[in-house]
Amino acid sequence: MEIIPLVTKENVTGKEVKNKLWNQFLALIEILKSKNLSDEIITFINNQIEELNEFPCGNVDFYKLVRQKQTLILKRLEQELKMVPKNYYMNLWLAIGMTVFGVPIGISMGTVLDNMGMFGIGLPIGMAIGIALGHGLDKKAKESGKQLEIEMKY
């Protein structure tokens, strides 16, 4: 089973960010075509592409739909196949590190030093811990062949 092609939209113009979003989605689909995916995943991707192909282009809702479909495809790949784009875990763990590690470190430093202004010191420490953990998981995904050769920016 193969992934169906996206219909080229003539009105995909306008802001640079919208063009980059569309080009990123096209690149994602091309990368997925080269992967060995199950028929169930390919059917899911084809359904998402068919909805995009049928939707009229040129308005703001089209770009929202492109972003939505891209997110749905990536979530499905991550849940079922553990396939993720570049820097996925690093971006995820950056925020987790700040909240899970940074806030408690900042509160404890502020309490120990009796200066709650030190609360802000914990956030970059937690961010560094999160980046380190995420980078390790990204490296592990790359070594196991579960990393897609694209970085999601939009």
Alpha helices in 82-153 (DSSP H): 88-96, 103-112, 119-143
Contact 94, 127 (CB under 8 A): yes
Distance, in Å, from the CA atom of 84 to the CA atom of 78, rounded to the nearest integer, reads: 6
pLDDT digits (tens, 9 = 90+) for 67-98: 999 999 999 999 999 999 999 999 999 999 99
Indicate the pTM of the whole model.
0.84
Is 43 in contact with 90 (CB distance < 8 Å)? no
